[in-house]
Homo-oligomer: A and B are copies of this chain.
Amino acid sequence: MAGKRYLMAPGPTPVPPEVLAAGAAPVIHHRGPDFRELMLRTLARLQQVCRTENEVLLFTASGSGAFESAIVNLLSPGERVLVVTAGAFGERWCALAAAYGADVHELRYSWGETPQPEDLRARLEETGGVEVVVVVHSETSTGVVADVEALARVGRDAGALVVVDAVSSLGAVPLETDAWGLDVVVAGSQKALMTPPGLSLTTISDAAWARSSRSTMPRYYFDWERMRRALESGSTPFTPAVTVVAALDAALGLLLEEGVDAAFARHASLGRACREGAKAMGLELFSPDEERSAVVTAILTPDGVDARELVLELRDRFGITVAGAHGELGSRMFRIGHIGYYDVLDITTALTAVETLLVERGAPIERGVASARALEAYRGAERV
């Protein structure tokens, strides 16, 4: 083996060489003109990708840090938040809000189910007095991508602010912050934005700013107002991850050069190719077989094939990192991420390796069928 590595998890994701190089430039000081220019350009590019004129804040933290910023800036202890949860990340939002003393209610689905706007409407009416609704756009643990536009409309109709967890969807799946009236969108650098992990962002509407000025949850590092004041002059209150900012700026440049709509189309095609290739091997999908499921494809193994062993063998024999599944799904499911710096030949690489291992285990699969079907399904991409 050449020792090559293929990162095919739904985050962190592969980073283009020019982005890695941008992050390896000598460190610059965060209170000077070089950084100011870099930071202001990065924030403007993030606005373009988020399709918003709202301010964007950038925290040196994992995506969950941005989650925390949304909770502690929008709510006071005892205030009511409704989390739409259908997987690991919905559950994290609940735990986080509860840790800060919010009155947490859930619209809870089984893992793998797709949240429905009518369920949310009913739950909001039944609960009453909900100040903030949290919706996970792409539930990375299951591959489900929710219809955020419709869910947000229901939330707004009920008078709640709408917070969207777009950590694994931003840049991969259509998201219209302003057109859909999303008050807060949070995301991380390490998914479809093709950047190493270390930064997380949040967009904030006027209504969200107004709530944050009244909310009394304790906060310091993740205080929005402190960050806004500093960013206005292109700096940050605390030393930021300057090399990751440089990388993010470069990655956003590439993404905007491709075009955000083109990136959405590419990801939709990647998802379709992955699903069709998996089905061609006779595998059952756990994530929905629908166009929106463009971030990560969750696949069930055939009876008798342990998914954990499959994941380990993909890594040890082919250098491929795919993701396993959480909890009791762990023995039956694996997940192929396909966001960011990713093209259809990455899909065929992943499927070819999976096919090889399954054939070795006696699965009745015609060799090459997964790749062939994936390429066929990847319509509209220039390179195919």
Q: Which residues of A contact B (CB under 8 A)?
A: 5, 7, 9, 11-15, 20-21, 23-34, 60-65, 67-68, 95-96, 99-101, 188, 190, 196-198, 217-223, 236-244, 315, 321, 323
Q: Is the interface of A mostly helix, strand, loop or mixed?
A: loop
Tell me which of A65, A96, A236 has the highest count of chain B C-beta atoms within 10 A of its own C-beta: A65
Inter-subunit contact A238/B27 (CB<8 Å) = no
The 4 A-B residue pairs with the shortest CB-CB distance in the complex, in nearest-first order: A198-B241, A24-B24, A62-B238, A196-B243
Inter-subunit contact A32/B240 (CB<8 Å) = no
| Complex: A115 Cα to B193 Cα, angstroms | 47
Inter-subunit contact A321/B242 (CB<8 Å) = no
Inter-subunit contact B23/A24 (CB<8 Å) = yes
Minimum distance in angstroms from A13 CB to a CB of chain B: 7
Tell me which of A20, A217, A237 has the highest count of chain B C-beta atoms within 10 A of its own C-beta: A20
| Complex: A100 Cα to B5 Cα, angstroms | 44
Minimum distance in angstroms from A59 CB to a CB of chain B: 8
| Complex: A43 Cα to B95 Cα, angstroms | 28
Tell me which of A61, A63, A65, A220 has the highest count of chain B C-beta atoms within 10 A of its own C-beta: A220
B residues within 8 A CB of A12? 27-30, 239, 242
Which one of B27, B237, B323 lies within 8 Å of A196 (CB-CB)?
B27
Inter-subunit contact B29/A7 (CB<8 Å) = yes
Copies in the complex: 2
Given contacts A27-B14, A100-B220, A321-B29, contact A239 B63 (CB under 8 A): yes
Given contacts A12-B239, A20-B24, contact A60 B190 (CB under 8 A): no
Q: Which residue of B lies closest to A77 (CB)?
A: B218
Q: Which residue of B lies closest to A237 (CB)?
A: B64
Beyond the given A12-B242, A217-B218, A243-B243, could you list 6 further A-B residue pairs with CB under 8 A, ordered by the A residue number?
A: A12-B30, A62-B239, A65-B221, A95-B220, A96-B220, A241-B244
B residues within 8 A CB of A237? 64
B residues within 8 A CB of A244? 196, 198, 241, 243-244
Inter-subunit contact B197/A239 (CB<8 Å) = yes
Inter-subunit contact A65/B7 (CB<8 Å) = no
| Complex: A134 Cα to B11 Cα, angstroms | 37
| Complex: A11 Cα to B239 Cα, angstroms | 8
